[in-house]
Amino acid sequence: MDSVTAGDEQSERDHKMQGEQTGTLQFNDRYYRVAGTNGWFAWKLKVLPDTPQRLSIEFGGERRRPAEAVDILVEGAKLATVKLACRPREGYYPLSLDLVKGRYGRSAFGGANARTLFRRHPAMAG
């Protein structure tokens, strides 16, 4: 349906990337986006009006101590909180989440785009 490539300037521009305290890092020859303490980033992703959909995400890179958690929001409604491991990882791992019709406001399923935001929690105890 739609995809954005973190760290790719054109892809992020096309998806109206916004954020605070965010940057990109490289792991296994791929870039990924990170948010600093209390930081966040968001993209506008195309959706099909009135159609159930899934949000597929790949997390990657090495994790710092203590463990971190990320809230994933669609049109301001929390979809999930993901706790990221604090040990090094050798690759990327996928996560797929259902977008439930009617939960995310009119623009998510009544329009062409849904704002998808990733917000880092303050540091957590290990």
Domain ranges of the chain: 9-120
Res 41: pLDDT? 93
pTM of the shown model: 0.79
DSSP 91-114: S-EEEEEEE-TTSS-HHHHHSSEE
The residue type at 46? K
Of 20-24, 52-56, 78-82, 117-121, highest mean pLDDT: 20-24
CATH 2.60.120.260 fits 9-120, yes or no: yes
Half-sphere exposure of 22 (CA within 13 A, CB side): 21
Reported as a pLDDT band with limits 50, 70 and 90, residue 77 is confident
pLDDT digit string, tens, across residues 18-40: 999 999 988 778 888 888 888 99
CB atoms within 10 A of CB 1: 11
